[in-house]
Copies of this chain bind each other. A is one copy, B any other.
Amino acid sequence: MLNIGLLGLGTVGQGVVEIISKRKKELEELLNKKIRIKKILVKNMDKKRNIILPEDILTDNFNDIIEDDEIQLIIEATSSLGEGYRYVKEGLERGKHVVTANKAIVSRYFEELTALALENRVAFLYEASVAGGIPILKPLKEHIPLNRINEIQGILNGTCNYILTKMFEDDLDYDEALKIAQDLGYAESDPVADVEGYDTLRKLRILSSLGLQRKILEDDILLEGIDNIKSFDIEQIKKLNSVIKLIGEAKHYEDGYVAIVLPTIVAKDTYFSTINGAFNSISFKGDNVGELKFYGPGAGKLPTANAILTDVLDIGLNTYRNKNLLGKKRLKNYNYSMKGRFYLRIPKMDWKVERGLEEITEEILGQNKYIGIKTKEIELERIYGIIRTLNIKKKEYFLGRFL
C-alpha cells in the first residue's frame, strides 16, 4: 500500500484526488500495490466542497499526517510559501518522500531541500512546479549527465502569455486583457507575481540551476515584466510582423552566464510565436542532443495534478534519480553586459533628451506622446544607463528584446 498525505485541497489538490480516483486500476497495476490518499490537510474542515471524499480523510492538523508512520509520501499543494516550506522540510526530515507543485518553495529553498532529501534518503520531486503539465524537469535531469546544457529558454507563465496573445489578436488594452484573464481564472485577483514576472523568474531559477549546473539564485536574474505594456507597443511590434512573449532565458556567456526574464520580440513565423494563450514552452540546448523543445499546458487542475502524479509514480516505482543534481559553483553574472537588439518605449520628451537616445537607436518605430525605438546591437546596461540619465520611472518605460 502506498499511503499519501495530501496538503491542500484547492484546485490542484482536487485534481490529484480526481486522477487517482479515475485511474486507480491502472496505477495499482503499474505499482503492483494499492494506492490511497490517507489524509488531506485543509484549513477549514467545514467548507463545502464539490468533491466526494471518504469519511475522516480531512484534517486541519498537520501532525495527523507527519506523525502517521503509514504515510510514506506527502504531496504539498498548499500554494503557501511559509507554511508549505515548513511542511516540506518537516516531511523530508521525518523520512517521508515529498512531491510539490509549489515553485516559490522550490525556488527559494532549492539547495537546502535537495540536500535534506539526499541526507534522509527520500525523494524531493517538483515536476509540477515548472510549466504545469509539461514533462520538462525530468527530461532535463536525464540529459544533464550526457550533455553540457548551454542554453535554456521558455515561455513559463500562462497568465502573461494569455494577456499578450489577447492584446495581439484582439487589439485589447492591457487592462482589458488582464480583466478577461482574471474572469477566466488564468490570472489571480492580485496578478503581481505573474505580470511583473516573478513567477517566470522562479521557474527560470529552477531550470537554470539544474540545466547550467550552477548556483543561480532569484537575485541573480534580471527581470522586466509585462505590466507596463501599452497598445502603443503592440502597434510598433505588429509593424515588424512580430509578437511579444515573456521569455526567461539562461545561458553560458563568456566565462560566466546570463539569466534574464524579458519581454521578447519574436517574428511571426518562428516557433515561440505559435505558443499562444495559457500554454507554455521550454527549449534547451545540449552539446550532444542539440535543441529540444517542449510544449503544453502551463497550469490548470488536471495538467498540474498529472505532473504531480508522474512524480508519485516515480517514487512508488523507485525510478526517480536521487543524486544531488545541483551545481555548487558560482559563476560570473553577465546580465548587464549581454549584447542584443532591444525595443525601448519611453514618454516623448524634448529634442535635447531624445538626443541621448540617438546613439543607440537603429530605427524609430513610432512616436506620438510616446517614442518607441529599436536599438542597434548594444549591451543591455546602456539601456538602463539612458533610463537613469533621463530619470524615467519604472512605470514609464517598456523594455523588450529582439530574439
- Stretch from A45-53, A116-124, A226-234, A286-294 that touches the partner: A286-294
A313 contacts B by Cβ under 8 Å: yes
| Inter-subunit contact B142/A288 (CB<8 Å) | no
- Minimum CB distance partner of A135 in chain B: B139
Taking CB atoms, residues of chain B closer than 8 Å to A144 are 26
- Cα A219 to Cα B85 in complex, Å, equals 54
| Chain multiplicity (copies) | 2
* Contact between A296 and B302, CB atoms less than 8 A apart: no
Distance in angstroms between the alpha carbons of A292 and B282 in the assembled complex: 12
Residues of B within 8 A of A319 (CB): 318-321
- Contact among B23, B288, B300 for A305, CB-based, below 8 A: B288
Binds B, one of A59-67, A263-271, A356-364: A263-271
Of residues 316 through 364 on chain A, the ones whose CB sits less than 8 Å from some CB of chain B are 317-321, 323
- Contact of A289 with B302 in the complex, beta carbons under 8 Å: yes
Could you say which residues of chain B place their CB within 8 Å of the CB of A320? 319
Give Cα A139–Cα B142 distance, bound, in whole angstroms: 12
Q: Is A14 an interface residue (CB 8 A)?
A: no
Q: Is the interface of A mostly helix, strand, loop or mixed?
A: mixed
Once bound together, how far apart are the Cα atoms of A290 and B227, in whole Å?
Answer: 29
Query: Which residues of B lie under 8 Å from residue A100 when comparing CB positions?
Result: none
17 A/B residue pairs, CB under 8 Å, sorted by A? A23-B145, A23-B146, A26-B145, A29-B145, A30-B321, A133-B292, A135-B143, A139-B139, A143-B310, A269-B273, A286-B306, A288-B303, A288-B305, A289-B303, A290-B300, A291-B295, A295-B295
Q: Is the CB of A27 within 8 A of B145?
A: yes
The answer on a CB contact under 8 Å between B269 and A271 is no
Name the CB-closest residue of B to A319.
B319
A31-74 to B contact mask, C-beta < 8 Å, 1/0: 00000000000000000000000000000000000000000000
A19 lies within 8 A of chain B by Cβ: yes
B303-A290 in contact (CB<8A): yes
A29, A144, A147 — which one has the most chain B CB atoms within 10 A of its CB? A147
Contacts of A366 in B (CB 8 A): none
